[in-house]
Amino acid sequence: MKRKYYAIPYTVWMLVLIVAPMLLILYYAFTGQADGVFTLENIRAALDPLYLKVLGRSVWLALIATVICFALGYPIAYILSRMSGRKAAILSMLFIVPMWMNFLLRTYAWMTLLDTNGLINQLVTSLGMKRLQLMNTQGAVVVGMVYNYLPFMILPIYNILQKMPRSNIEAAQDLGANGFQVFTRVVFPLSLPGVISGITMVFVPTITTFAISRLLGGSQFMLYGDLIETQFISIGQANGGWNVGAALSCIMMVLVLLCMAVTNRFDKGGEGGTLL
């Protein structure tokens, strides 16, 4: 049996679950709700200033969450990479185990922590301070994003740092580089592929999330994922919601592809740089 036949199940899976849904999205985005004729009205509706404001808010919160994940994830990954194999494996499992739980359960857990009568506010009031308004804020949404997607930043960076040859660092030290120079001119440039992968794996899902904003944001403000869901679920096909929702999805896909193209460009530039 030829090896190419082994790819048939994957090809069928990709056609049914990836290509076909994308073609349906494109069809609804560029056809009218009543007659099914080609039109750009859905795209024009999706470019409404109100919708673009929601998109801008989503991009901004996704950027904040990505930066926080990077600021927390890189030091953690670096520390893990410097540990012995057994300790690093145990600690890395602590970041992986929560991911085995359902996504919504992890978010509900933060609702109990951030609630007015939650654990954090109980600690605050026990110290004699006023209760904090933590739920139904953009800060709560960012916290939920960071908690749910931080492992996706840590693991790619840790994987790269763990495989980094120690001889490169030793060579830099032999040439007189101090600790800061070794990190900035050897360790960090060589870890860029993991950094780029982590940024992509965090930014893309955070910009499209809707469950976190609904549960921790309390529907006080809408993100782009919420907007798309509203078009498909609440407005529905009969009122043209599917068509506008598909157009919004197309804009999101274009934005995600642009982000991936930019990160890949930086990735290639980072790999080709000199070390010292």
Instruction: For residue 131, give the DSSP letter.
Output: P
Question: What does the pLDDT read at residue 269?
Answer: 46
User: What is the number of alpha carbons within 13 Å of residue 95 lying toward its C-beta?
Assistant: 21
Could you give the CA distance from residue 245 to residue 141 in angstroms, rounded to a whole number?
A: 23
Token reading at 218: 């309390």
Could you give the CA distance from residue 19 to residue 9 in angstroms, rounded to a whole number?
A: 14
The model's pLDDT over 212-246, given as tens digits with 9 standing for 90+, comes to: 988 998 877 789 999 999 999 989 887 889 999 99
Q: Across all residues in the chain, what is the average pLDDT?
A: 88
Hey, what amino acid is at 212? I
The domain over range 31-271 is classified in CATH as 3.40.605.10: no
Question: What does the pLDDT read at residue 276?
Answer: 34
pLDDT of residue 1 exceeding 70: no
Question: What does the pLDDT read at residue 268?
Answer: 57
Domain ranges of the chain: 31-271
Question: What does the pLDDT read at residue 272?
Answer: 39
Residue 5 — very low, low, confident or very high, per pLDDT cuts 50/70/90? confident
Instruction: For residue 236, give the DSSP letter.
Output: -
Q: Are 65 and 206 in contact (CB under 8 A)?
A: yes
Across the range 92-108, mean pLDDT stands at 85
The model's pLDDT over 54-83, given as tens digits with 9 standing for 90+, comes to: 999 999 999 999 999 999 999 999 999 988
